[in-house]
């Protein structure tokens, strides 16, 4: 068993052109004042982090670590969610996902894919420079649009798609192995890795690669009506990162999981700030602690009702309240006694 580290916060949803959200130094000062001990850094936002420089310069990474440390914080992971998404994109989504890419590769899917792969590779090198053991990302997707099979999926489509996905990720996984860092795929609707079965398909294609790990976020499981506690039982050995994000599912006679194209506030399945939804975080923290999860509890704010400022303010004490300081004692040891083999044999009648 291990005590989970935290509280930490993912900075992606807070970055802005307005202080204190417009630089890493000022945002660190802000989150430290709220009681956080760690930060997960998005690598696509140069207001906070220069990934190209971090992949080339350990000196730059040392300076970043020093700045973060000066605020009493640690970097938990780097994130390439947006770049990882672009490793695999179905053509139907090209125009929308081009928004995540630099201008010089927009409208050119092949160039965009190569740019995305190089970006994630840079994040592996930067993670090595920063001495980080886990990295957060998305897998991307070729066949998410076929998850509800109508028209029927042609035979072999799933197998071919996962083989191609694996071919794109295997060199990246090998690079992260050289860097000593796990790639933690956020198992997420919209990605080809969106539940346990799809993750296992991917593992089979990448030969059970030891660096192909999981970012566990229960909010995406309650929206799928998947048993998010049992998921930990199945995959705890692969869970190397953890987002504390809440959600709720309130189906009606008019809508269920798919939401009828309504906005987030009007959906039956929607994200909430930690503590405002339906997720059993006490159960999650208990299971992760018992299984020896050796990582950080990172608050990700995505709420359709509450402001990000209030969510951030409430997130640190919420996580702290749920962190379990694991025991090194057995509670009934006081009632035990030493026994010899003769006594033990006598107790079982032999």
| pLDDT tens per residue, range 27-77 | 999 999 999 999 999 999 999 999 999 999 999 999 999 999 999 999 999
- The 3-state DSSP class for residue 112 equals helix
Q: Binning pLDDT at 50, 70 and 90, where does residue 339 land?
A: confident
**pLDDT above 90 coverage of the chain, percent:** 94
Task: Give residue 329's pLDDT.
Answer: 81
Burial environment of residue 157 by CB neighbours within 10 A (0 to 12, 13 to 18, 19 or more): middle
Q: Residue 41's closest CA among 118, 114, 132, 113?
A: 132
**38 - beta bridge partners?**
8, 74
- Residue 73 C-alpha from the chain's centroid: 19
Q: Residue 86's closest CA among 73, 67, 74, 99?
A: 99
Asked: is 5-347 a CATH 3.40.50.720 domain? The reply is no
**242 - beta bridge partners?**
216, 297
- Residue 105 C-alpha from the chain's centroid: 27
- The 3-state DSSP class for residue 334 equals helix
Q: Please state the domain extents for the chain.
A: 5-347
Task: Give residue 332's pLDDT.
Answer: 75
Task: Give residue 151's pLDDT.
Answer: 95
Its pTM stands at 0.95
108-128 b/e (C-beta count within 10 Å ≥ 16 → b):
ebeebbebbbebbbbbbbbbb
Number of neighbouring beta carbons within 10 Å of residue 53? 15
Structure tokens at 146: 């076929």
Average of per-residue pLDDT across 188-213? 98
Task: Give residue 139's pLDDT.
Answer: 98
pLDDT at 337 over 80: no
Q: Residue 215's closest CA among 192, 244, 173, 175?
A: 244
Structure tokens at 120: 């994630």
Separation between Cα atoms, residue 183 and residue 167, nearest integer Å: 15
- For the stretch 7-26, pLDDT in tens is 999 999 999 999 999 999 99
Structure tokens at 121: 């590779």
> Could you tell me which residues come within 8 angstroms of residue 333 by beta carbon, excluding any fewer than 6 positions away?
none
Find the DSSP H helices in the chain.
Answer: 24-33, 51-56, 58-70, 81-85, 94-97, 109-130, 157-179, 196-205, 219-222, 228-235, 281-290, 308-322, 341-347
Q: What interhelical angle do 308-322 and 281-290 show, nearest 10?
A: 50
Q: Residue 37's closest CA among 64, 4, 86, 84?
A: 4
Task: Give residue 34's pLDDT.
Answer: 98
- For the stretch 268-312, pLDDT in tens is 999 999 999 999 999 999 999 999 999 999 999 999 999 999 999
Average of per-residue pLDDT across 90-99? 97
- For the stretch 235-276, pLDDT in tens is 999 999 999 999 999 999 999 999 999 999 999 999 999 999
Average of per-residue pLDDT across 190-206? 98
Cβ–Cβ under 8 Å, residues 143 and 91: no
Structure tokens at 222: 């309650």
pLDDT at 347 over 90: no
């Amino acid at each position: 068993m291990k005590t989970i580290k935290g509280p930490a916060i993912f900075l992606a949803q807070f970055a802005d052109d307005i202080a204190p959200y417009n630089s890493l130094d000022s945002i660190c000062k802000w989150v430290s004042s709220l009681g956080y001990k760690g930060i997960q850094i998005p690598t696509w936002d140069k207001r906070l982090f220069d990934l190209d420089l971090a992949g080339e310069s350990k000196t730059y990474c040392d300076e970043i670590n020093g700045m973060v440390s000066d605020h009493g914080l640690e970097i938990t992971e780097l994130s390439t969610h947006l770049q990882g998404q672009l490793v695999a994109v179905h053509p139907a989504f090209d125009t929308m996902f081009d928004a995540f890419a630099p201008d010089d590769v927009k409208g050119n899917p092949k160039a965009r894919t190569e740019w995305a792969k190089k970006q994630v590779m840079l994040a592996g090198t930067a993670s090595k420079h920063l001495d980080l053991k886990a990295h957060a990302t998305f897998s991307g997707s070729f066949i998410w649009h076929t998850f509800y099979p109508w028209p029927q999926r042609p035979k072999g489509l799933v197998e071919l798609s996962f083989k191609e996905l694996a071919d794109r990720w295997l060199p990246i996984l090998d690079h992260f192995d050289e860097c000593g860092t796990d790639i933690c795929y956020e198992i997420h609707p919209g990605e080809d890795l969106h539940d346990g079965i799809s993750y296992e398909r991917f593992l089979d294609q990448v030969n059970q690669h030891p660096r192909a790990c999981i970012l566990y976020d229960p909010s995406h499981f309650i929206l799928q009506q998947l048993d998010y506690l049992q998921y930990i039982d199945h995959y705890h050995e692969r869970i190397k990162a953890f987002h504390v994000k809440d959600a709720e599912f309130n189906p009606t006679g008019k809508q269920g999981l798919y939401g009828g194209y309504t906005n987030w506030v009007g959906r039956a399945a929607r994200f909430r700030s930690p503590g405002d939804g339906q997720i059993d975080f006490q159960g999650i923290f208990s299971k992760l602690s018992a299984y020896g999860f050796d990582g950080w509890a990172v608050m990700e704010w995505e709420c359709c009702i509450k402001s990000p400022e209030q969510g951030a303010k409430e997130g640190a004490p919420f996580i702290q309240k749920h962190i379990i300081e694991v025991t090194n004692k057995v509670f009934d040891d006081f009632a035990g006694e030493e026994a010899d083999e003769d006594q033990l044999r006598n107790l079982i009648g032999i």
